[in-house]
């Protein structure tokens, strides 16, 4: 079911990212200015098209919609978003497992940066917090992220 994103899906995935980022910003307490910058820099069709040249982007389709996406760059799980209406339905777990398998085929370790509200999900997926970092520039300056890792020895078979 999970597959590579098609160029024709850029707008649909952009909409998913905008909706999910709005949800995330609310949970994390980001300001309207921070939300606006995140949507401009991370969610627009143009930024997604640019990111698709660097990341491998996979989608979780459901009928005529895309309800989740994951982006991978080398051994980094760069993005994982699920439409809020589809949370707690196994979509995020499926996307994580897909990305993990893809990464661990070529690397001994995977990593990601997670905002505090996402840490419990990633811990449930077997990720461990390596350290906390404070974003030191840009619109999210001062926000905290957990740098999380998982090595190939802990991959479920």
Question: Per residue of the chain (157 residues), what is the pLDDT tens digit?
Answer: 899 999 999 999 999 999 999 999 999 999 999 999 999 888 999 999 999 999 999 999 998 789 999 999 999 999 999 999 999 999 999 999 999 999 999 999 999 999 999 999 999 999 999 999 999 988 899 999 999 999 876 544 4
Of 134, 24, 38, nearest in space to 80 by CA? 24
Per the confidence metrics, is the pTM higher than 0.85? yes
Neighbour-count burial of 124, counting CB atoms closer than 10 A to its CB (0-12 exposed, 13-18 middle, 19+ buried): exposed
Q: 53-69: buried (b, 16+ CB within 10 Å) or exposed (e) per residue?
A: eebbbbbbbeeeebbbb
How far, in Å, are 29, 68, 98, 105 from residue 110 at the CA level? 28, 20, 13, 11
Which domains does the chain carry? 3-154 (3.40.630.30)
Rounded Cα gap, residues 31 and 107, in angstroms: 37
């Amino acid at each position: 079911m999970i597959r590579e994103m098609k160029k024709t899906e850029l707008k649909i995935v952009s909409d998913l990212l905008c909706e999910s980022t709005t949800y995330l910003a609310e949970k994390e307490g980001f300001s309207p200015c921070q939300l606006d910058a995140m949507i401009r820099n991370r969610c627009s069709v143009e930024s997604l098209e640019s990111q698709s040249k660097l990341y491998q982007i996979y989608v979780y389709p459901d009928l005529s919609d895309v309800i989740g996406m994951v982006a991978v760059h080398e051994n980094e799980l760069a993005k994982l978003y699920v439409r809020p209406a589809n949370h707690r339905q196994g979509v995020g777990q499926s996307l994580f497992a897909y990305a993990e398998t893809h990464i661990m085929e070529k690397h001994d370790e995977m990593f990601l940066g997670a905002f505090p509200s996402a840490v419990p999900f990633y811990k449930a997926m077997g990720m461990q917090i390596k350290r906390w970092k404070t974003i030191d520039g840009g619109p999210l300056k001062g926000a905290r992220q957990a740098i999380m890792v998982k090595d190939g020895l802990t991959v479920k078979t």
